[in-house]
Amino acid sequence: MENNLTASSGIRIGVLISGSGTNMDAIIAACETSRINGRVVFAGSDNPDATGLEKAASKKISTFVVDYADIIRDFPSAIDGPWNDPDPTARLKDRLPLDFDLEAIRGQQRFFPPDADRGKVNRFLCTRAAAEAALLNEMAAHPFDLLVLAGFMRNLTPYFIDRVNTEPGRPRIMNIHPALLPAFPGVDGYGDTFRYGCRIGGCTVHYIDYGEDSGPIIGQRAFPITDDDTIDTVRKKGLALEWELYPECIQLFAQGRLHVIKMTHTLDSGAIYQRNIVKIARIQ
């Protein structure tokens, strides 16, 4: 997958969706009005019924589907042995990509704690690798500079991430999350925010890493939550901000202004804490 950022044509943006693709709509509109110096080159989905694919096709954008549910459903529950084998991939070689290393991926991932059920972890990583290999194969036909997740409801494993982020220190997978991270990671950020009784809600754009919604934060927007709000009004407020924030963050990437650096902090206890953060360079 090439990297070809040019001032004339702008960046090439790939989009992954699972549903209606409202954030994709905002990104396409921002490209059309030059608020993003770039263009959307494909829209892919894990869901054959994603209505956003029709919207993309109407804009003459290439679309494809990798049906995760079908791949996972068709995957063997076990072949000649249980999933808690040290390496079940030996009996699944015809179902997994040749370059898949279960032990390495299991050590990299941060979705599951170290004491998680080994069989559950193995099955998750193997089924996702099978789906992700198909996804990468579809994406290979559409060279891109930045991949954005716009309501893509699947966790990406290190297998996929490392095959998109091929240049150390230069991540190129963005996600938008419906909460002010690091609070409320997971699938229902606005609902979690509302149910917790927060007085402020918001959304976050971040780079993807090996954990769940744990990557370096690029941008955030916040809104007040009043006594009159419901879960529906909270989501409505959040979506309105998402459609503003995501294009802004993508344009920062297009301008080459996003730099990931490692920060080291010494805590009062003497412990050393390190974290990757995003620095936004000023326009020269």
Long-range contacts made by residues 100-109, C-beta under 8 angstroms, separation at least 24?
A: 100/126, 100/129, 100/133, 100/159, 102/126, 104/158, 105/129, 105/157, 105/158, 105/159, 108/158, 108/210, 109/157, 109/158, 109/210
Q: Report the pLDDT value the prediction gives residue 77, as an integer from 0 to 100.
A: 76
What type of residue is 110? R
Residues 174-220 pLDDT 10s: 999 999 999 999 999 999 999 999 999 999 999 999 999 999 999 99
Q: State the catalytic residues.
A: 177
CB-based burial label for 162 (10 Å; 0-12, 13-18, 19+): middle
* Confidence category of residue 7, pLDDT binned at 50, 70, 90: very low
CA 25 to chain CA centroid, nearest Å: 17
Residues 35-94 pLDDT 10s: 999 999 999 999 999 999 999 999 999 999 999 999 999 888 765 567 888 788 888 888
Domains of the chain: 11-257 (3.40.50.170)
Three-class secondary structure assignment of 65-95: ECCHHHHHHHCCCCCCCCCCCCCHHHHCCCC
pLDDT at 6 over 50: no
H or E element: which one contains 209? none
- Give the mean pLDDT of 150-173: 96
CB atoms within 10 A of CB 240: 13
Q: How far apart are the first and last CA of the chain?
A: 29
- Give the mean pLDDT of 102-113: 94
Calculate the alpha carbon distances from 248 to 37, 142, 155 in Å: 11, 23, 24
H or E element: which one contains 110? none
Dihedral of alpha carbons 17, 56, 9, 219, sign: negative
Q: Are 187 and 139 in contact (CB under 8 A)?
A: no
Beta bridge partners of 15: 43, 148
Backbone dihedral angles phi then psi of residue 242, each to the nearest 5 degrees: -55, -45
Give the separation between CA 146 and CA 173, rounded to whole angstroms: 6
Higher pLDDT, 148 or 78: 148
Q: Report the pLDDT value the prediction gives residue 79, as an integer from 0 to 100.
A: 58
* Confidence category of residue 5, pLDDT binned at 50, 70, 90: very low
Q: CA 177, 179, 185, 189: dihedral to nearest 10 degrees?
A: -90
Alpha helices in the chain (DSSP H): 22-32, 52-58, 68-74, 102-108, 118-139, 158-164, 189-196, 231-254
Beta bridge partners of 42: 14, 62
CB-based burial label for 110 (10 Å; 0-12, 13-18, 19+): exposed
Give the separation between CA 151 and CA 173, rounded to whole angstroms: 13
H or E element: which one contains 12? strand 11-17
Half-sphere exposure of 260 (CA within 13 A, CB side): 21
* Confidence category of residue 130, pLDDT binned at 50, 70, 90: very high
Residues 250-283 pLDDT 10s: 999 999 999 999 999 999 998 999 999 999 999 8
Give the separation between CA 155 and CA 7, rounded to whole angstroms: 33
